[in-house]
Amino acid sequence: MIVIFRPDVEPDGAEVERLLKHLAQIPGLKPEVHSVRGAIRSLTEVYLIGRTDTVSREALEQLPGVERVVRISEKYRLIGRHRETEAVGFVYNGVAFEDKSLHIFAGLCAVDAREHVDATMAALARARLKTTRMGVYKPRTSPYDFQGRGRDCLPYVFELAGRYGIRVIAMEVLHESHLDEIRDALERAGRPTGVMLQIGTRNAQNFELLKYVGQQREFPVLYKRGMGITLEESLNACEYIASEGNRNIVFCLRGVKSHLGDPHRNLVDFAHVPVVKRLTRLLVCIDPSHSVGRHERAPDGLSEIQHATAQGVVAGANMVLVDFHPAPEVALCDGPQALTLLELEAFLEDVRIVRAAYVERCAAAAAAATAPAKESS
């Protein structure tokens, strides 16, 4: 059961205190107060965990400040899109992530050299992008492969982000200690930018790591779907993060492991964008680079990565995570799937075209839904 307060009610307000007092008289109930801060709307909600069958919905709706009470039966209690609840997204470091937004996180799969970070961020700044991806800790299949520059590169990554006006960097973490290293380096650099913690597909069910990133609320989380588990299992993993307190989560589709996707690296799963939006209140990201895994051009002049991106964007994706590199032939990780910086402008223009088509599709669907039913002859 969820008690939703009016937008003007603060989580530490008298109305919430009044409700908690009321609930304390009911045995077997554990209330959890959640505050969702969006760009357009902020909401205070109280989740009732435990036996709610004897709780009167009407009685709760009479309490001061309560807007409505929703009974939920689904298993995604916190992340679920329950009837009558709203997706409100979140604002992080001045960037609004919401239902209607689309952000492009273009950047290096792995930071390999300072000059590559510099050249990439300079290109992003020219394109007016304020979000990027920079892999620092890399989970590699072979122990002999490049494992990422680790904390040694954080000072220059953050310094350059500040110089080029980057507001949010998506960065994978593999271990709790990586959060401390990121926090420490950000502090030392004077907080010039923000970080979105990426949980990679290989850690999709690392429940202790999921709980750890859920327990902190400083950084939002970009959760990448598990490559060999069901969508339901991946969504449950996000529920772990949310149940620890952090609800600023973006769900990333990155393809699933199957040879049926050959010659792509993974089977592209962007048809799931609307499914995740229907089942949950999470914003949805697509990663065309790790899905397609190769930089080939189709006869129409568009690359396969652009085509996959278009599939996700035309379906309403809120974020695109995509690999670029100034010199893919010398990249230490995933060079074959990186687009070059010279291709950035055309990539962004293609996204703009497809996004406009999505907006138009939504408007047409809304018009069709409100149009008076035509008489059949």
Can you give the binding site for Mn ion, defined by CB under 5 A? 109, 334
Distance CA 252, CA 246 (A): 17
Distance CA 330, CA 112 (A): 9
Instruction: Please name every residue paired with 284 in a beta bridge, in sequence order, or none if there are none.
Output: 251
* Closer of 80 and 107 to ligand PEP (Cβ): 107
CB atoms within 10 A of CB 371: 8
Residues ≥6 apart with Cβ < 8 Å to 352 = none
* Closer of 7 and 263 to Mn ion (Cβ): 263
Bond into 143 cis (ω within 30): no
* Closer of 50 and 336 to Mn ion (Cβ): 336
Residue 77 binds which one of Mn ion, ligand PEP, none, with CB within 5 to 8 A depending on kind?
A: none
CB 73 within 8 A of CB 38: no
Min dist CB 255 to ligand PEP, Å, is 8
Min dist CB 345 to ligand PEP, Å, is 23
* Closer of 135 and 194 to ligand PEP (Cβ): 135
Min dist CB 203 to ligand PEP, Å, is 8
Min dist CB 238 to ligand PEP, Å, is 15
CB 349 within 8 A of CB 127: no
CB 267 within 8 A of CB 238: no
Min dist CB 146 to ligand PEP, Å, is 12
Encoding tokens for residue 340?
């070059």
**Positions in the binding site for ligand PEP (CB under 6 A):** 109, 135, 172, 200-202, 224, 254, 287, 290
**In this structure, is the dihedral angle defined by the CA atoms of residues 71, 76, 77 and 83, taken in order, positive or negative?**
negative
Q: Phi-psi category of 234—alpha, beta or left, where left has phi over 0 and alpha has psi -120 to 50?
A: alpha
* Closer of 109 and 186 to Mn ion (Cβ): 109
Min dist CB 152 to Mn ion, Å, is 19
* Closer of 97 and 137 to ligand PEP (Cβ): 137
Which residue's CB comes closest to ligand PEP? 200
Q: Phi-psi category of 84—alpha, beta or left, where left has phi over 0 and alpha has psi -120 to 50?
A: left
Min dist CB 130 to ligand PEP, Å, is 19
Residue 281 binds which one of ligand PEP, Mn ion, none, with CB within 5 to 8 A depending on kind?
A: none
C-beta contacts of 177-182 below 8 A and 24+ residues apart: 178/137, 178/151, 179/212, 179/213, 179/216, 179/219, 181/150, 181/151, 181/154, 182/154, 182/219
* Closer of 9 and 209 to ligand PEP (Cβ): 209
CB atoms within 10 A of CB 317: 30
Min dist CB 172 to ligand PEP, Å, is 6
* Closer of 67 and 176 to ligand PEP (Cβ): 176
CB 311 within 8 A of CB 274: no
